Structure 1
Amino acid sequence: MADRSASAGIAHSPEGRRTVGMLALVLLAIAGLSAVAVWGAGEILEAVGERDGVALWDRPVLDWAIGQRRPGPVSALLWFTNAGGPIWQPIIMAALALFLWWRWRNPTPFVLIAMAEVGAVLISSTTKRVVDRARPPQIDAVPPFEVSPSFPSGHTMQAFAAATIIAYLLIRYLWDRPRWLQAMIGLLALAYACLMGFSRVFLGYHWLTDVLAAAMLGIAWSAVVIACHRVWLRRSRSRPRQRLEHRTARSSDPDDTMTA
């Protein structure tokens, strides 16, 4: 009974109401962002199926990329895109997550980055099998060739999901630092993810629509991970307050005094 009373007191206190209200607004915004992103990916898939809308840009953009290829940029983008592949991407992200865990003495970075990576892989691989879209012709691609289904781009989805979570973690950690620094972190994360998507189209491994849909799905999934973290933070912060309220209630309980 004391625990329930303490919990109720916290929830109905001015500070508790403000906290719950802010959490509700954050979750509502995240849900809206995820819904819009998933809807956008669905619209792109529909355009691909009907061969209209944004899908009409697939061939012209690939033709432009072919015309812009030079040995230097191709070599650099090959190295970059391989670093974001199924082998090196998990290794790099695991190393970064472990470093942040050690540096901050907190396992949260490892848990969130792992959720982002694993979820992105599962969503992209499942969607690939369901849609089963063919990649651009190998004559238009740079070796080594890839043969798995094309929609959506797994590299791009993982890049957007991981970059969003890492930016979220760093901005939270540096929340009291200048806003320009936080904006720079967000821009660098966005630049990394966009460059990964660009490399997939430039090298002929994916159509433009594969990359656009993957970016939206990556953002949607990372928003879900962030929402889970916000709820967990709320619950973990409320427990010490409940214990404090419980101890305070028991110390002023006449029955406790009589027993003593």
Structure 2
Amino acid sequence: MADARAVLRRYFDEQRPMSDGARASLMRTAAILTVVGLAGFAFILWSVVNNAGAAVLDEPLRQWFVELRAPGLDGAMWLFSLVTGPVFLPILMAVLTAGWIWMGKHAWRPTMLAGGMLLGVLIAIIIRDTVDKPRPSQSLMVLFHPDHTYSFISGHTLGATNFALLGFYVLYSRHKNPKPWMFWGGLALAVLWILASASSRLYTGFHWFTDVTGSIYVALVILGLVIAVDTRHTAVPLNAASEGEGAPVVS
């Protein structure tokens, strides 16, 4: 039993020496993301239930994406929908998590990434079965077989957004010498990935605008929770780290 605890401690204990101000800044960022995500999702949910607010954009944007369809775009939209779908993305996450743990000899960060992704799946299922919002007409669905499940929220978009934002966080937050261009460049790539995934769901006719928007707000909540849990678990005072207290620092 002692050996098992030692193995778990080795793989899951991680320290990030930081000042009180840096720790407070991370917790404040986590709180802001969570509040913004909850407020945004509440507005989108109200819009869906009352067919008002942001929901007035559902039909115009659906028509716009239908008119946008062209052979040159079909391949790209098919690819994004496939990659962020319920088959490819879980396989990718399983391989990535196992490979990261095996090669990196630590499990905290890959577990946070995989855990956040799994939390998104559970939330999407609960919301979808609770709200019961119909999808757009099946006659307008292209590139894949028609989907008969409920529409709100978009699991594809939520998975893609979680993967981009959580992946960006767990990588950038551990960089030993982060530069501003790394942050803004990484964030820009994440945003482009999210927009491409959301657009693919609208283009193929499987979701409404409120579906993908609601998913993005949920992802912000999950990101806020992950940052808070990660900071609470790994942040240690600079003086404690210098005195050798606690677990080893994992780079």
Instruction: Tell me whether the two structures share a fold, i.e. TM-score over 0.5.
Output: yes
Q: Which residue of 1 aligns with 2:89?
A: 89
CA shift at 1:26, angstroms? 2.2
Q: Which residue of 1 aligns with 2:48?
A: 48
How high is the sequence identity, in percent, across the aligned residues? 27
CA distance in 2, matches of 1:131, 1:244: 49
Tell me which structure has the larger Cα radius of gyration: 1
Which ranges of structure 1 fall in alignment gaps of 5 or more residues? 1-15, 246-260
Q: Which residue of 2 aligns with 1:250?
A: none
* Structure 1 residues 238 and 215: alpha-carbon distance in aligned structure 2, compared to 1, 3 A threshold: farther
Task: Name the amino acid aligned to 1:159.
Answer: A
8 Å contact kept, 1:45–1:213: yes
Q: Which residue of 2 aligns with 1:28?
A: 28
Superposed CA RMSD in Å reads: 2.4
8 Å contact kept, 2:113–2:170: no
Aligned 1:1-260 pairs, distance under 5 A: 19-142=19-142, 143-234=144-235
Which ranges of structure 2 fall in alignment gaps of 5 or more residues? 1-16, 247-251
* Structure 1 residues 244 and 27: alpha-carbon distance in aligned structure 2, compared to 1, 3 A threshold: closer
CA distance in 2, matches of 1:140, 1:239: 60
SS in structure 2 at match of 1:34: helix
User: What TM-score results when the alignment is normalised by the length of structure 2?
Assistant: 0.82
Task: Name the amino acid aligned to 2:76.
Answer: A
CA distance in 2, matches of 1:76, 1:206: 17
CA distance in 2, matches of 1:119, 1:237: 32
Higher helix share: 1
Any idea what the Cα deviations from partners look like across 1:37-76, whole Å, max 9, x if unmatched?
1111111111122222211110010101111111231232
CA distance in 2, matches of 1:244, 1:90: 37
* Structure 1 residues 177 and 43: alpha-carbon distance in aligned structure 2, compared to 1, 3 A threshold: closer
Q: Which residue of 2 aligns with 1:5?
A: none
Q: Which is further off, 232-241 or 206-215? A: 232-241
Task: Name the amino acid aligned to 2:60.
Answer: P
CA shift at 1:192, angstroms? 0.9
Task: Name the amino acid aligned to 2:130.
Answer: V
8 Å contact kept, 1:30–1:223: yes
SS in structure 2 at match of 1:173: coil
